[in-house]
Chains A and B, each alone.
Chain A
Amino acid sequence: MNSFTTNIQLVYILAAACFVVGLHLMNSPGTARRGNQVSTAGMIVAVLATLILLIHAGTVTGIGWTVIIVGALLGSAAGLQSARRVQMTAMPQLVSMFNAVGGGAAALVAVYGYLHDESTKAGVLGTTTVTTALDVIIGSVTFTGSLIAAGKLQGIITGQPVVLRGGRLLNAALAVIAVGAAAFLLTTASLPALLIVVLAALAFGVMMVLPIGGADMPVVISLLNAFTGTAVAMAGFVITNWALIVAGALVGASGGILTKLMADAMNRSLANIILGGFGTGDSAAPVAAAADAQIKSVAADDAAIQLAYASKVIVVPGYGLAAAQAQHAVAELAQVLQDRGIEVSYAIHPVAGRMPGHMNVLLAEANVPYPQLKEMDEINSEFSRADVALVIGANDVTNPAARRPGTAISGMPILDVDQAKSIIVVKRSMASGYAGIDNELYANPKTSMYFADAKKALAEMTAAVKTLVA
């Protein structure tokens, strides 16, 4: 290692350190922006160092420069454009797209590394071969898997689980083909084998995500994020670049932790989600008719009276709120209540929304200060002191049945909404949540059901509270 390449490696280590510090600063909303800036600075330094390395190498052809610069500029423009335009409700799709391109780029780096090595050395490819194969496989799976996930989230592909007959068998076959061809590559240099690995891995990515239902997306996105990180780390092994290895490992850790948190919050194992099964066959079974007798329905005026004369209100937003784009409406109602001196906070279940922490971003966008956003563990003890719990578009995460053994959601961590003195549930119908079971909360004598679209209901309640207090 001569002194020039040593210096470049040192710059890469500096960049890696910036990434770690940047992530560390994300441990509180107050410092998170600085964290992002530190991380950006590290990235700029790393890219500049790479450009200097390219100039120093002196082997980049004119076409080579044109190709990478035009490619990078067009990519930057596309990335910037989507980052500026994206609606906060569409964040999961965008994150998925970034996973896709990141994984795709990592796979391409390995494919090129392989082609280049093969053309120069011919034969067995030394120590990087295992990581090359892993990079190609993981990167390709991430690429198509993330595209399918983004398509499902965007509604281009149905959010319902797509279960093909013999799908699992096909999956297993694809996995065997990809790994088998990769194993063959380890001993024999072969371009066709590489192609087979790529194609099988691409197909596996599609087949892995298609059978997964829309409600499981928080887990899938996290998992694909972990995949991308691993693929990038493997790309770092292929080109012996420590910045890639460290960055990839950090992202792999982040994705892994979030995957586990999401799966735990849904009370499901990763295998169970990937293999599918939930909400695929038994959706017709639950009928709410039996509980009808005990269900109490309420209108805007009555709900407004409860809210206006409360001293503590806890809002429980769920995916239904995001789907109805009602985050601004709920923030407005909360503001009216706070102006009356009522304490309002939000109880956020870990899987509210379509990706980890999604609901917090939606509410932040609606100008809700983050100290009002409470995590499940923090807020659960406060429900018993709340006069009203206002549940909007959340279902399974409030079902007390989770505390009993023997139900579909037994053991799932829930928000203790039933501890509140009174409960208002805004919901379009009595339809069950994705777990496919009745919510016992709705039959609770303390509960009033407000049947309406979340946005409309919130606007009506806000108007009613305003008239009441005027």
Chain B
Amino acid sequence: MPSTVDGIAFAVLAVALVGGALGMLTTKNIMHAGFWLLEVSVAAAGVYFLLDANYLALVQLLVYAGAVSVLIIFSVMITLRRREDAVRPRDLSWQAGLLALAFAGMMIAAIAAYAWPVAGMPAGAPDLVAFGTRLFAPHGWALPFEIASVVLTAALVGAVWWSRKEDE
């Protein structure tokens, strides 16, 4: 990929990510905030494509843009009794802004001060076959993968248990 295209794509995705997050924070309507989160998820998938993480980009689109956003939008709709309830105050406190600004300043200063050992993106990323082979290698990531599926099952059962009717 030529480096000029890289720069333009990165700039577009960065604007989409930061702008989407800002839109999510500043909109007064919770439904709109949910749709901004959807936009942030899609832009993040674009960043993964830029970093040659194709599998992660697809998972991001399926899990975050697909499932999580729909889940959030549905729970917003369930917890609203009237249409007007979606509009609520912005709730932006200056103390939180100060905290976030201090954190961002600290991180950016640390990133800029450190001498990173790489100049540009290394050429040639492994393809999907190599990724899958490493993921399911017996002494690689196979055991954490199985544990992760147990975690997901437990979370699923817990979510069903919590959201059941009280009087059953």
Partners in one complex: no
Chain A interface residues toward B at CB < 8 A: none
